[in-house]
Amino acid sequence: MNSDVDALLDLLKAERRRIVLELLHEIQCEYDSDEVTVQVPDLVRQVAAIEAAVDSATVGHTVKQSSEVDLHHTHLPMLDDYGVIEYDTAANEVSTTDRTRPVAQTTRSIVDTVEDAEIGFVQSPGLDS
């Protein structure tokens, strides 16, 4: 298999990374711009709200804190390492790159295909990866 495909699938493995990509892509579309910058606390609140299925104004502190730690230590650095975003820890902001839109669109296509096909991939107990 192609190493780029493996890298993309590894990147998309985590739902939080997929949510971040979807949110950034929505902002790009909303502002009709490939270059957008988002404050990390705003992104954290939106991710936590989606995960909790609540409005971003009512998301709880515990859920938000869990998202913040995970995004800061794992998901945003990984997206940055792959060049899909620029994560500026000093400014506490995330900016899109020329890879954000195509990766977000590919992600959406994969998710839609799996949902439409109703494939239902669930690993059987006892199977190793």
**Residue 86, burial from CB neighbour count under 10 angstroms (0-12, 13-18, 19+):** middle
More confident residue, 96 or 126: 96
pLDDT at 76 over 70: yes
pLDDT at 126 over 80: no
| Region 18-37 average pLDDT | 96
DSSP state of 54: S
Supply 8's token pair: 């993309």
**Residue 14, burial from CB neighbour count under 10 angstroms (0-12, 13-18, 19+):** middle
The pLDDT assigned to 117 comes to: 83
Q: Are strands 93-96 and 37-39 parallel, antiparallel or unpaired?
A: antiparallel
CATH of domain 3-104: 1.10.10
Domain spans of the chain? 3-104
| Region 55-62 average pLDDT | 87
Rounded to whole angstroms, the Cα distance separating 32 from 92 reads 23
**With bands split at pLDDT 50, 70 and 90, how would you rate the model's confidence at 38?**
very high
Q: Percent of the chain beyond pLDDT 90?
A: 75
Question: How many other CB atoms sit within 10 Å of the CB of residue 72?
Answer: 15
Question: How many other CB atoms sit within 10 Å of the CB of residue 13?
Answer: 10
| Region 95-103 average pLDDT | 97
Task: Name every residue whose Cβ is closer than 8 Å to that of residue 25 and which is 6 or more positions away in sequence.
Answer: 100, 101, 104, 105, 108
Mean pLDDT of the chain: 91
The pLDDT assigned to 129 comes to: 52
| Region 70-93 average pLDDT | 98
pTM (predicted TM-score): 0.88
